[in-house]
Amino acid sequence: MNVLGLLRVALRALAVNKLRSALTMLGIIIGVAAVIVMIAVGGGAQARVEEQIRALGSNLLLILSGARTQSGVRLGVGSNYTLSEDDAIAINREIPEAIAAPALRGGAQVIWGNSNWATQIYGTTNHYFDVRQWQLADGRVFEPAELSGAGKVCIVGQTVVRQLFADANPIGQVIRIKRVPFTVIGVLENKGQSMMGTDQDDIIVVPIATARGRVLGSANLAKQRAVSTIWVKVADDLDTKAVEEQVRALLRQRHRLQADAEDDFSLRNLAEIMAAREASSRVLALLLAAVASVSLVVGGIGIMNIMLVSVTERTREIGLRMAVGARTRDILGQFLVEAVTLSLIGGLAGIAIGVGAAVAIAQVAGWRILLSPESVLLAVAFAFAIGVFFGFYPARKAANLNPVEALRFE
Amino acid sequence: MPENLIHTRELVKTYRVGDNDIRALAGVSVDIARGEFTCVMGPSGSGKSTFMNMLGCLDRPSSGEYVLGGRRVSELQGDELAEVRNRNIGFVFQTFNLLARTAAVENVELPLVYAGVPLRERRRRALEMLALVGLAERADHQPAQLSGGQQQRVAIARALVTQPLLILADEPTGALDSHTSLEIMALLQDLNLRGMTVVLVTHEADVARFARRLLRFRDGHVVEDEANARPEDAQAALATQKAAA
Ligand SMILES: Nc1ncnc2c1ncn2[C@@H]1O[C@H](COP(=O)(O)OP(=O)(O)OP(=O)(O)O)[C@@H](O)[C@H]1O
Ligand SMILES: [Mg+2]
Quickly list DSSP for B31-62.
EE-TT-EEEEE-STTSSHHHHHHHHTTSS--S
Pairwise CB contact (< 8 Å): A324 & B86: yes
Distance CA A410, CA A236 (A): 79
What is the structure's pLDDT at B120? 94
**How far, in Å, from the CA of B49 to the mean position of ligand 1?**
7
Query: Shortest CB distance from A325 goes to which of B93, B101, B115?
Result: B115
- pLDDT, tens digit, 9 for 90 and up, residues B50-65: 999 999 999 999 999 9
User: Does the pLDDT value for residue A75 go beyond 90?
Assistant: no
Atom of ligand 1 at shortest distance to CA of B171? 27
Contact by Cβ (8 Å): A352, A29: no
pLDDT band at A367 (very low <50, low <70, confident <90, very high): confident
**How far, in Å, from the CA of B43 to the mean position of ligand 1?**
11
Pairwise CB contact (< 8 Å): B58 & A328: no
Provide, rounded to the nearest whole percent, the portion of chain A with pLDDT above 70: 91
User: Does the pLDDT value for residue A227 go beyond 70?
Assistant: yes
What is the structure's pLDDT at B154? 96
Tell me the shortest Cα–Cα distance from A399 to chain B, in angstroms.
11
Distance CA B232, CA A222 (A): 130
Q: Where are the alpha helices (DSSP H) in A17-153?
A: 18-56, 85-94, 127-131, 144-148
ipTM of the complex: 0.95
**How far, in Å, from the CA of B23 to the mean position of ligand 2?**
15
Tell which wins on pLDDT, A75 or A14. A14
What is the structure's pLDDT at B32? 95
User: Does the pLDDT value for residue A194 go beyond 80?
Assistant: no
User: Does the pLDDT value for residue A222 go beyond 70?
Assistant: no
- What chain B holds in terms of domains, given with CATH numbers, is 4-244 (3.40.50.300)
Give all strands (DSSP E) within A344-383, no chain letters: none
Choice among A38-52, A67-81, A221-235, B76-90 with the minimum mean pLDDT? A67-81
Contact list in A for residue B111 (CB cut-off 8 A) is 324-325
pLDDT band at B210 (very low <50, low <70, confident <90, very high): very high
Average pLDDT, chain A: 85
Average pLDDT of A268-284?
73
User: Does the pLDDT value for residue B1 go beyond 50?
Assistant: no
Tell me the shortest Cα–Cα distance from B105 to chain A, in angstroms.
15
Would strands B37-41 and B197-201 be described as parallel, antiparallel, or unpaired?
Answer: parallel
Distance CA A284, CA A305 (A): 31
Distance CA B234, CA A216 (A): 119
Residues with CB under 6 A from ligand 1: A 405; B 15, 17, 22, 24, 42, 44-50
Residues whose CB falls within 8 Å of the CB of residue A67, separated by 6 or more in sequence, listed in order: A74, A75, A76, A82, A262, A263, A264, A265, A266
Distance CA A30, CA B93 (A): 45
Query: Shortest CB distance from A325 goes to which of B93, B101, B111?
Result: B111
The ligand minimizing its distance to the Cα of B45 is 1
Count how many residues are written for chain A: 410
**How far, in Å, from the CA of B16 to the mean position of ligand 1?**
12
pLDDT band at B39 (very low <50, low <70, confident <90, very high): very high
The verdict on B15 touching A (C-beta cutoff 8 Å) is no
Residues whose CB falls within 8 Å of the CB of residue B234, separated by 6 or more in sequence, listed in order: B182, B185, B186, B188, B189, B210
Q: What is the reported pTM?
A: 0.73
Torsion sign over Cα A161, A165, A170, A174: negative
Contact by Cβ (8 Å): B102, B142: yes
Query: Shortest CB distance from B53 goes to which of A16, A328, A404?
Result: A404
- Alpha carbon A186 to chain centroid, angstroms: 33
Tell me the shortest Cα–Cα distance from B79 to chain A, in angstroms.
5
Ligand 1: residue whose CA is nearest its atom 5: B15
User: Does the pLDDT value for residue A317 go beyond 90?
Assistant: yes
Tell me the shortest Cα–Cα distance from A12 to chain B, in angstroms.
9
Average pLDDT, chain B: 93
